[in-house]
């Protein structure tokens, strides 16, 4: 049993962490921080946790995070990098669900996130927490940079093709759609019901913060820089990401066999039969990525469909998966939930 703390427990990823960790047989929730809700009962804010989480929110400067074995940062970008050093020095292992340590180039990070990085010297130590790629490094990591939601869906969909060297890596296209919970639990005009409902739109076409993260991961897999066009879209649903990925074939192979072999031992990646159509509700509330391959008209373009729940495999579920690996638990512990239908 390990003692767990959560910094920033009032957002969507925070409450998703609470839902998963409250059911985890090897994790004991000890502290949950919030500046605005300090003193309030967690279950009063989130009635779904009544009878499961009896803690109250604590102000960050009063939280005994150093007494925890593991701390999750479910905070806005720029928060974790100011607090992680003291936790690591105290022997705490950290999983950051924000973007503070995802990019290896501090200048690139500052360009895309618009602020000075407060702890660039810690970036080399941070392990990028995509278990399907970095499982062995995660085992011994003190600091894990949990991947973004779009980057998880896109990278898992592209990786077998990139690693095999069978497709053109200079002209990759990722067309991805996300539910409104991906924007976080804050009041913004574009996520208001009357704005997002019965509507569909692209955003960040000129450049989205997740682009350099995806490009970094795919370039590492390719052993060279890749060319990628990434266009995200907002859809009128609460949860889910659907990524439609395009790659030009350069060398023929049985691509279905390639994907099945690559993910055969991965508990949270489901390669569906060829020409299937995975949908977001098939992964709702589960830590699963479902993938299907298509070859339209038998041409030279491969289409990969990749779906995840942005709050689970795209955030909190993957963070718990990383925690399991870090502490030597079975990777699936606390993550065996069956997707919710309808």
For the annotated catalytic residues, the residue numbers are 149
**Token pair of 118, please?**
């407060």
Alpha-carbon gap, residue 146 to 325, rounded angstroms: 13
Contacts of 299 (CB under 8 A, 6+ apart): none
End-to-end CA distance of the chain: 35
Query: Which letter does DSSP use for residue 167 in this model?
Result: B
Q: Radius of gyration of the chain from Cα atoms? A: 19
Residues 318, 332: Cα–Cα separation, whole Å: 10
Residue among 25, 35, 7, 180 at smallest CA distance from 96: 7
Q: Which residues pair with 4 in a beta bridge?
A: 29, 70
């Amino acid at each position: 049993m390990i003692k767990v703390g959560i910094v920033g427990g009032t957002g969507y990823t925070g409450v998703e962490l609470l839902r998963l960790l409250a059911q985890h047989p090897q994790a004991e929730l000890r502290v949950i921080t919030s500046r605005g809700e300090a003193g309030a009962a967690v279950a009063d804010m989130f009635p779904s946790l009544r009878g499961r989480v009896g803690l109250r929110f604590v102000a960050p400067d009063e939280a005994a995070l150093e007494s925890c074995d593991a701390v999750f940062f479910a905070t806005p970008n720029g928060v974790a990098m100011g607090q992680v050093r003291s936790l690591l020095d105290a022997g705490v292992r950290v999983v950051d669900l924000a973007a503070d340590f995802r990019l290896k180039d501090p200048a690139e990070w500052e360009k895309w996130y618009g602020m000075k990085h407060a702890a660039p010297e810690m970036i080399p130590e941070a392990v990028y927490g995509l278990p399907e790629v970095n499982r062995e490094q995660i085992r011994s990591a003190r600091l894990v940079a949990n991947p973004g939601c779009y980057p998880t869906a896109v990278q898992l969909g592209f990786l077998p093709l990139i690693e095999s060297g069978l497709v053109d890596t200079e002209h990759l296209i990722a067309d991805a759609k996300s539910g409104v919970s991906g924007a976080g639990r804050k009041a913004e005009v574009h996520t208001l019901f009357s704005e997002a409902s019965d509507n569909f739109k692209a955003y960040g076409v000129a450049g989205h913060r997740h682009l350099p993260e995806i490009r970094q991961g795919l370039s590492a897999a390719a052993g060279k820089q890749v060319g990628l066009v990434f266009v995200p879209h907002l859809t009128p649903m609460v949860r889910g990401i659907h990524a439609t990925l395009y790659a030009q074939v350069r060398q023929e192979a049985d691509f279905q066999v390639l994907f099945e072999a690559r993910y055969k031992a991965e508990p949270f990646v489901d390669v569906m039969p060829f020409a299937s159509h995975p949908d977001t509700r098939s992964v709702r509330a589960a830590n699963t990525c479902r993938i299907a391959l298509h070859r339209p008209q038998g041409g030279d373009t491969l289409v990969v469909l990749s779906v995840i729940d942005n709050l689970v495999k795209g955030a909190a579920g993957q963070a718990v998966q990383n925690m399991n690996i870090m502490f030597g638990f079975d990777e699936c512990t606390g993550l065996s939930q069956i997707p919710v239908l309808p």
